[in-house]
Structure 1
Amino acid sequence: MEILIVEDEAEIANLIQLYLEKEGFTCRCARDGLSALKIFAEQKPDLVILDLLVPGLDGLEVCARIRSRPRDKDPYILMLTARGEEIDRIVWLSTRR
């Protein structure tokens, strides 16, 4: 399984990558939204672990752009964020098809 980790804090990204690779997953990391979209186009991951508060394009915009691309199978997207207010969840759900 190919996983794209989109996280601007290096320690968090490295820790996630370490544990996932220990379990046999293949991971790549992006530190900002634009890099994430570039890697996504190249890698075509099965799962995207996406921080909402990344520089450049924020996580919601990255999610919307990923979802707008035609693919045989959409990747799973796991939101990773410190934001937990109800309005944040509503906004995220509105980015889904």
Structure 2
Amino acid sequence: MSGETPDDSEDVRSESGELAPLTTAQAASAAIEQLVELTSKPMQGATSVEPTDQGWTVEIEVLEDRRIPSSADMLALYEVEIDLDGNLLAYRRTKRYARGTADIGRGGQR
């Protein structure tokens, strides 16, 4: 273990010595970690994870505004794009809504 930093032991390397691609769970975790750092808002969790040519697109539900009662909280969906190494490429808020609002689907979005 000499010469290794704590981060080195967490890296998964292929036989060629290069970093192995992120798993779906690692991509979601990396996106959540980056969004927390940028927004400082509580994350509710990933709602979707999709691979792309450049990396991953992760949709994350975020608590935007805590209210009393909690059923009146305002939530938002953020779309986060990360590269194959888990680095942030872009993020955007795509929807804002009250907790408990029925999900009527994406409809005309996208």
Bin for the TM-score computed over the shorter chain: under 0.3
By relative contact order (CA 8 Å, sep 6+), the higher-ranking structure is 1
Structure (1 or 2) with the greater helix fraction: 1
Under a length normalisation based on structure 1, what TM-score does the superposition of the two structures give? 0.25
Under a length normalisation based on structure 2, what TM-score does the superposition of the two structures give? 0.23
